Amino acid sequence: MNIQDIYRAHHVDRWQIVNVSRTQSLAEHSFNVAMIAREIAVRIGLTSHLADITEWALIHDLPEIATGDIASPLKVYMRNLGDGGDGVEKLESRISEEYRVTKRLVRESVVNDIVKLADLIDGIRYLELYANKSCIHARETLIGLRSKLQSKVAELKTRTGEIEVFNWDEVMKVWADLSFGKPKSIDSILKEDSDAQEK
């Protein structure tokens, strides 16, 4: 993949199967993820990895320049094709050598964890702003992303080793600050999601 290919990221739309009022480009998403990931890293005290975090955040979806935004249900299907491997990963690895190498380096690292958290927060914030709230699928997608974020933070809190020294609660504060501009109880947000699911 060359610079001309990468430059097309601003033409690649995300949220293909979610009813949204405004399209989000891959370039916009990648920038947002990089800035959110940097904020998380600073808040949890991981400034020594800012360059790696920023780089991975900017290229974490690079293969989508060639594939477009692959909807999550299709990714699940492709991962379970039964051919002895992950179909999504195989496809992505063939598209960009830089992506393949970087992903291999960060796969089991706190760098990848932070970018994944930032990716979820950007998705949540985007849907909070632009999802068609009357569309059940859009609301369910938003609630699902919030649940994934909460689960990922809970998982990181239980892990030991290098990452146990970080205050992972700061991740939820980054999301709340971004979404509401002032601290709002995470519990109240999640209760709203629970109430919405019951309706």
13-44 per-position pLDDT tens digit: 999 899 999 999 999 999 999 999 999 999 99
Give the per-residue pLDDT at 68: 85
Residue 150 has pLDDT above 70, yes or no: yes
Specify the pTM.
0.85
Q: Which domains does the chain have, with CATH numbers?
A: 3-198 (1.10.3210.10)
At 164 the pLDDT is 60
Residue 82 sits at the vertex; the CA angle it makes with 78 and 87, to the nearest 5 degrees, is 30
Per-residue pLDDT of 155-166, as tens digits, reads: 988 876 655 678
Taking 70 as the threshold, does the pLDDT of residue 83 lie above it?
Answer: no
Q: How far is CA 80 from CA 50, 83, 85, in A?
A: 34, 8, 8
